[in-house]
Amino acid sequence: MNQVGTAIQNLVEKLWFNLTQMTPTQIAWFCVGLFAQLIFSMRFLVQWIASERRGESVIPVTFWYMSLVGTTLLFAYAVYRRDPIFILGQAFGSVVYTRNLMLIYKRRTSPVNAGHGST
């Protein structure tokens, strides 16, 4: 039983960050990464609430802003961690999120949509 307990403890230590053994810089980046993941995940809650309010599936502009902020911070965190897989996973998202915001604002400022209550 003691070996099992030690094995579990070693596994937890390898999988979880021990903040007491981190430098202030590492702790700061840990907080950036945690905040970024929180923002990136919360965008789905925002989308769900907006859809429930409208009674249909919608993607609010806030979703795209949260996506852009989240992916940018996660990309920076991945670069800090020097994780090529994580970097590749976040690198392209900002292009897509920025383009969606551009399309939304292009539609909103279009003369065709002026005065028609476009959202």
| Residue 118 pLDDT greater than 50, yes or no | no
DSSP state of 19: G
pLDDT tens digits for 21-78?
A: 888 999 899 899 999 999 999 999 999 999 999 999 999 999 999 999 999 999 999 9
With beta carbons less than 8 A apart as the criterion, state whether 46 and 63 touch.
yes
Measured distance CA(57)–CA(64) in Å, rounded: 15
Specify the higher pLDDT residue, 1 or 75.
75
pLDDT of residue 21: 80
For residue range 87-108, list pLDDT tens digits in order.
999 999 999 999 999 999 998 8
pTM of the complete model:
0.74
Contacts of 9 (CB under 8 A, 6+ apart): none
**Per-residue pLDDT at 39:** 96
